Amino acid sequence: MNDLAGKHFVLGLSGGIACYKAAELCRALIKEGATVQVVMTEAAEQFITPVTMQALSNRPVYGSQWDSREPNNMPHINLSREADAILVAPCSADFMAKLLHGRADELLSLMCLARPRPEVPLLLSPSMNREMWSHPATQRNMQQLTDDGATILGVGSGFQACGEYGDGRMLEPLELLEDIVAFFQPKHLQGKRVLITAGPTFEAIDPVRGITNLSSGKMGFAIARAAHEAGADVTLVAGPVSLKTPRGVTRIDVKSARDMLAATQPAAERADVFVATAAVADWRPANCADQKIKKDGSGKAPALDFTENPDILATVAQGARAKAGQLFCVGFAAESQDLVANAQAKRERKGVPLLVGNIGPATFGADDNALVLVDAKGTMEVPRASKLELARGLVAEIAKRLPKK
Ligand code: C5P
């Protein structure tokens, strides 16, 4: 997907060892469809050469406000006017302190000061030693820069180049990319709390075996990412899947349907939206054996009794918050035929305002899908697209249906 197609960035590098990550970030932005103009401070040039950044961005790098390549000799004006955002990565503690005071004694800080603020957002990716990061001066500066309209991206935690361990590392390039893509998404769900179930459940037969299904969790994880991008506070209750948690999302890992219900019900008490994408096992073995069930030599398989699992979606949709219109519930239906008729019937049976139908076997594990949205007014077909694109569209449709405050 080219989530940054048509976007142009000024990528500013200030002095810090994380300059080496800026090279990878530049490539990541370009791979996602953006164009990048690199601007480096003198200190940044101590860590990585302009030659590297020129080769990666396919444009000459700027480093001086006296650069005569610009006909009017005003690179700070010309370059910032073309940009959709100025991204300073790494942003050193010193560079933040400069920005805070509106200093403009070299090209990058001059450009940040001279940018047209409403049109050209300023994104800062801090990078520094843990003591510098936790210093009250840095924390104070960040608060003031936020108040002045800058967006401060997070920092990572871990082993630092100086040999110490703690907060203040620059985020990894792909983490930054995810945050930058999110920054440009419309904030349909700002201030809302969204709860999502995803993946299969695992129902134990004995300590080493169980029954499960082929759900990959990809659709639920994509919805979690899209809801976070849209400004929501997102909790994702995930069955056993091997997917990366989307950035900024709180994840609760569970195994069985009963674990999933136990994690979901209290979270639903605080949520505004509940999206049930999990492929919950309909039945579980009635008794889980304490020890591994062994072959007894008779050639006969052991008889297994099954009991029905709780229906998480129906339980939550019948709760007081949903009934009072404070929790908007969305169900999924994976059908193998008669999608619309089955989805309509399921919507009524589960008692939810919106049900999303898809053809089950075709979508399990895939990166794309096609959906049909069914509500009281009728059906809406959403053509095949990546699960993330579909998730963004679904989030917008959910937002339209939420009660207006
Ligand atoms: O009844 P069926 O499994 O087809 O319904 C699918 C919808 O119900 C999905 O949204 C799924 O997450 C939810 N569901 C649930 N708990 C169950 C079974 C299904 O939340 N035990």
313 lines ligand 1 (CB under 6 A): yes
- Residue 162 is among the residues annotated as catalytic for this protein: yes
Bridge partner residues of 259 (DSSP) = none
Three-state SS letters, the chain: CCCCCCCEEEEEECCCCCHHHHHHHHHHHHHCCCEEEEEECCCHHHCCCHHHHHHHHCCCCECCCCCCCCCCCCHHHHHHHHCCEEEEEEECHHHHHHHHCCCCCCHHHHHHHHCCCCCCCEEEEECCCHHHHHCHHHHHHHHHHHHCCCEECCCEEEECCCCCEEEEECCCHHHHHHHHHHHCCCCCCCCCEEEEEECECCEEEECCEEECCCCCCHHHHHHHHHHHHCCCEEEEEECCCCCCCCCCCEEEECCCHHHHHHHHHHHHCCCCEEEECCECCCEEECCCCCCCCCCCCCCCCCCCCEEECCCHHHHHHCCHHHHCCCCEEEEEEEECCCHHHHHHHHHHHHCCCEEEEEEHHHHCCCCEEEEEEEECCEEEEEEEEEHHHHHHHHHHHHHHHCCCC
343 lines ligand 1 (CB under 6 A): no
Mutation to probe ligand 1, out of 202, 212, 254, 312 (largest number of atoms < 8 A from CB): 312
CA 233–ligand 1 middle distance (angstroms) = 23
Residue 272 structure tokens: 């505004």
Domains identified in the chain and CATH numbers: 8-184 (3.40.50.1950), 193-401 (3.40.50.10300)
Q: What does the pLDDT profile of the chain (405 residues) look like in tens digits?
A: 699 999 999 999 999 999 999 999 999 999 999 999 999 999 999 999 999 999 999 999 999 999 999 999 999 999 999 999 999 999 999 999 999 999 999 999 999 999 999 999 999 999 999 999 999 999 999 999 999 999 999 999 999 999 999 999 999 999 999 999 999 999 999 999 999 999 999 999 999 999 999 999 999 999 999 999 999 999 999 999 999 999 999 999 999 999 999 999 999 999 999 999 999 999 999 999 999 999 989 999 989 999 999 999 999 999 999 999 999 999 999 888 888 999 999 999 999 999 999 877 777 788 999 999 999 999 999 999 999 999 999 999 999 999 987
End-to-end CA distance of the chain: 34
215 lines ligand 1 (CB under 6 A): no
108 lines ligand 1 (CB under 6 A): no
Report the predicted TM-score, pTM, of the whole model to 2 decimal places.
0.95
